Amino acid sequence: NAGVMQNPRHLVRRRGQEARLRCSPMKGHSHVYWYRQLPEEGLKFMVYLQKENIIDESGMPKERFSAEFPKEGPSILRIQQVVRGDSAAYFCASSPTGTNQNSPLHFGNGTRLTVT
Amino acid sequence: QQPVQSPQAVILREGEDAVINCSSSKALYSVHWYRQKHGEAPVFLMILLKGGEQKGHEKISASFNEKKQQSSLYLTASQLSYSGTYFCGTRGIPNFVFGPGTRLSVLP
């Protein structure tokens, strides 16, 4: 099955540590979106990437957060010096094209980050 | 800008109908609908395009009025499996944003 793969499923970090979340898009998909979801809340857009390019990072906090999608390998969402407020579920989604209105997003199962 | 959804939550008995609305202050070229069950990933239901109405999933259908910048999701003869949170999503330029969600609970 070539679905969107995220790992790890669960990640526990202490305050001040770094968190690295990985997302491998579906086969043939070159567009990746990252979303943050707090418990009982909606999907907040963070960043949209194509291979080797950040297209829109308007939803990313200015500090401590970064994302990449290299030519080879998964997309990485990196959170430095985590704080308790970073605890959330982080979902990535992929699509074959970015602007085609007919392309649905396919979601991974998410990474649940807990900061202690 | 994030679309708006109403109602925030709905409680139904099995077999009852529900309507979930989605609207935007910006021009819409398409509207996507997704359902998320507790603890799971959102799952794509259907896409509505300009000028189109589409039935895409079980007894769930939707309409899209691009002039009013609104879409509605219709759930008929609801089943227990319909429970979850429904999100509408719209493509911005160049991102993709979701409404805050409508939580649907179907009771036996």
Burial of B17 (0-12, 13-18, 19+ CB in 10 A): exposed
Query: pLDDT tens digits for chain A (116 residues)?
Result: 579 999 999 999 999 999 999 999 999 899 999 999 998 899 999 999 999 999 999 999 999 999 999 999 999 999 999 999 999 999 999 998 766 667 889 999 999 999 99
Strand partners, A61: none
Mutate to test the interface with A, among B31, B95, B98 (most CBs of A within 10 A): B95
Burial of A87 (0-12, 13-18, 19+ CB in 10 A): middle
Nearest Cα of chain A lies from the Cα of B93 at a distance, in angstroms, of 8
CA pair distance B79, A42, nearest whole angstrom = 23
Q: Do A108 and B41 touch (CB under 8 A)?
A: yes
Q: Does A52 touch chain B (CB under 8 A)?
A: no
pLDDT digits (tens, 9 = 90+) for B32-74: 999 999 999 999 999 888 766 665 667 899 989 888 899 999 9
